[in-house]
Amino acid sequence: MTRKLRLLCIGRDLSPAGAERVQAALFRHLDRSRFSVDLHYMSDGDDLLDEMPAGLVPRFGRVGRVPCKLAGARTLHRLVRAARRSDLIFATQEGSPVYLAAIAGAVARKPVVGWIHGPWSRLRKQAGGWHALAARILYPRASRLVCVSEGVRRDLESESPSLADRLAVLPNPLDIERIRTQSLEPAPPWAANFPDEGAIVACGRLVPDKGFDLLLRAVAKSASCRRGTRLVVLGEGPERARLESLVIELGLRGRVSLPGHLANPYPVFRRAAVFVLSSRVEGVGMVLLEAMTLSVPVVAFDSDAGGPREIFGAQDCGQLVEAGDPGRLADAIDRMLGDRALAARCRDWGERRARKFDAERAARRFETLFQSVLDAARSRRS
């Protein structure tokens, strides 16, 4: 019997965000008869631990309240030892996980694959100049950098043209059956009391990139919302106080709810009249695909990274709006809520389009890429 290929996987944490959720989906659908997984995270955010497949127990760089950063010399030594036992190192997020994987791979002489979820130019500006230096030195040490969309690939290539021949694009895994099953669980009491026409629903971490301030301004302009349609924004984050103040400033008290993070948001998605993605920049926008899976009509900003545009493809899956324009977003929401034929068409095409991102199919593509990188590394050594 052929032995399993050993993957050393390095991630940032298991916080309840889009990139972390798709990692869990990939690991659930990876062929465990072919691949064994040794999983390390930089810190102990374990919100998604129950989404990991049975038998896969991650190691964390920080245990309990005792700081032990993965980037420290002691833990890096542990990573190098793990790398020597592995066949391939897989960094599950851009930035620091790729840097650590590249260092461990260089020392252990093992191939490295990095997973890039968002526009590199945005991360570099937000995280500081040292990222530009670290990436310039360490990204070229990866055998392959997997981008979640063509927009993310173009952005990274424009920042670092020398990486062009190392870049690949693979769709994120969408766990369709899990989403549908979880959507049938009981909704929170406040969601069970949605009006007959439903509500506008949005979901994401409360940070500037998600554009919830723009969504609030769109709701203030929306004729549908003035007639009583509610907005529900699921998620938590540092922008909460600012958004709550904006609700009051715009006179939206009683029409907007920010109930916080839900471990299972899908029963709320399923009850939505329309789902809105208001991100200023979005590499993919998995919540958009999740809503489409549940046959919810969607409206989205056409962000700089092109994620929503690539999700829709050539089909009439939803309304795509020029990014950053609350007035046009309000018009698109009103049209979706007021045009039943359009909403029905978007429900149908959206659900069909989401199937193309099915996790089983996506996992097979990742496995093929892992195998090709391993074969190329072995060929160079022989």
The domain spanning residue 135 has which CATH number? Answer: 3.40.50.2000
Beta bridge partners of 8: 38, 89
Say whether both 186 and 317 belong to one domain.
Answer: yes
Rounded Cα gap, residues 179 and 265, in angstroms: 9
Say whether both 128 and 265 belong to one domain.
Answer: no
Say whether both 169 and 180 belong to one domain.
Answer: no
Q: What is the pLDDT of residues 30-40, one digit of tens each?
A: 998 999 999 88
Q: Is the pLDDT of residue 13 over 90?
A: no
Q: What is the pLDDT of residues 205-232, one digit of tens each?
A: 999 989 999 999 999 999 887 777 899 9
Q: What is the pLDDT of residues 99-135, one digit of tens each?
A: 999 999 999 999 999 999 988 877 776 666 677 788 8
Residues 6 or more apart in contact with residue 123 via CB below 8 angstroms: 94, 95, 131
Say whether both 331 and 199 belong to one domain.
Answer: yes
Say whether both 75 and 184 belong to one domain.
Answer: no
Say whether both 331 and 369 belong to one domain.
Answer: no
| Tokens standing for residue 380 | 């160079």
Say whether both 139 and 13 belong to one domain.
Answer: yes
Say whether both 351 and 365 belong to one domain.
Answer: no
| pLDDT at residue number 127 | 65
Say whether both 151 and 219 belong to one domain.
Answer: no
* Domain tally, the chain: 2
Rounded Cα gap, residues 170 and 87, in angstroms: 21
Domain range for 245: 176-355
pTM > 0.75: yes or no: yes
Rounded Cα gap, residues 268 and 183, in angstroms: 8
Mean pLDDT of 354-365: 94
Say whether both 133 and 230 belong to one domain.
Answer: no
